Each structure stands twice: as C-alpha cells, then as structure tokens.
Amino acid sequence: MMNSAIYKDSEDFKLKRKRQIDTLKIFNDNVQEIQPGAEYRVEFWSDTRRLAILVQLGPDFPLEKPILLVSPNVAHPWVDHCGRITSAPGLINFTQHSDLGRVVHAIVREFELRPPVWMGAESSSSTVESSNPTESSAQPAIPTMSASQPVQQTPLPQMIFPELAELSLSELQALMDNQDRRNEFIEQSPVSQELDEQLDQLMLSIENLASKD
C-alpha cells in the first residue's frame, strides 16, 4: 500500500497521467476541462442530437480505468441504464498502456456512425445545455411518430472495422465469446495500426517541439 502511494507521488506516475490527458485532447474535438486533471467533457453530434461524454479520472488513473458517462442517457449495448459506458471494447481492456484519447474517440465514432436510441421523452429535458440560452432553447423537439406512419429505411453507415463483413457467423460468434480473440482482432486491424502510427508520430513531434523550447 505504501509503495503504491509513493509511486502515485512520483514524477513517472504524474507524467503518465498527463500523457493520457494529452491524448484525450489530441484525438477529440470540443474537450472541456471541468476539473483540471480529473474531469473532462467531450461534446459531439450524433445524427441531429448533441451528446456529451463525461470523463472522470480517479486518483489511481491510469492504473485504474476512467469512468465514462454519456449525457443525455441513451440505449446502446455499451451503456448501462444509468448512462455509464461499461462495454466499449477499449474501455473493457483498458490498462495504463492504453490511450484514453483513442478509447473516447472510438466511442464518439460509434455514436456518430450508429446513433443510439434516446431514452424516452425525459431525455429531451436533459439534452446537453449550451452556454448560450437562446441556442439551447432552439433545440429541435423530438418528433413523434404514429403507428400509421411508415418507418423510413436509412442506409447502414460505414463500418469502423470493414473486415468484420468478411467473417462467418461462427467466427463473429467466437469474437463475441472470447475476449482474447477480440483483443487480437483489434490490435491487428489496419485501423488500429494506422492510429498507432499516427499517435507515435504526433507524440514524437510534440516531444521535439518541447525540447526546442
């Protein structure tokens, strides 16, 4: 216990925590600092609605997982009934070697490409508030549909991992049932490899600029 407390006061721990926060700002737009070093808000559009992910970093982060909440609450396989994001792949497997920014960005992209279902009429009252009261009041109302109205079919958005379409049902089921296989699939994905390369290049550029100052 004492060793853990000492480590959390070390420069190495502080540097790792700062780097994680830096990746949040690098990979995501509209990042608001609510509480320096501990709480951040990432706002984005999902279809015609404004969503926000609240990022809460405990004192042991990044040794422990961040707490991610979506507001207003939505129905999605990654989100529990309280609005906490619990089942996003990057969050499930989060370690101190993960990148917080990439994890949040993957969740944002999921909600952008596949807009989640809004949790009833009460969600409209908890829509992300704007700093401009006029702008907030201009939010469009949720349309109501009668049983006689035809359901409009919309095209499916492009998949983040298009290689999934090449797998058989048994292979997809194996991915769902085996966390190690999911990890391996994500790590070998061209999307993940490209992001790794971009992050390495970006961090190298930041370090070079910092060394010149």
Q: What is the rounded average pLDDT of the residues 169-183?
A: 73
Q: What is the rounded average pLDDT of the residues 119-144?
A: 45
Question: Ranked by mean pLDDT, which of 18-27, 134-143, 195-204 comes out on top?
Answer: 18-27
- The pair of structure tokens assigned to 103 is 């994890």
The DSSP element (H or E) to which 56 belongs, if any, is strand 49-56
Q: What is the spatial order of strands in the sheet that 49-56 belongs to?
A: 31-35, 39-46, 49-56, 67-71
CA distances from 28 to 32, 101, 183, 190 (A): 10, 7, 23, 20
Crossing angle of the two packed helices 100-113 and 11-27, in degrees rounded to 10: 20
Q: Can you give the pLDDT at residue 122? A: 46
Q: What is the rounded average pLDDT of the residues 183-200?
A: 72
Q: How confident is the model at residue 163 (pLDDT cuts 50, 70, 90)?
A: low
Give the predicted TM-score (pTM) of the model.
0.56
Q: Amino acid identity of 120?
A: G
In whole angstroms, what is the distance from residue 174 CA to residue 167 CA? Answer: 10
Which of the two residues, 158 and 109, has the higher pLDDT score? 109
Q: Can you give the pLDDT at residue 4? A: 60
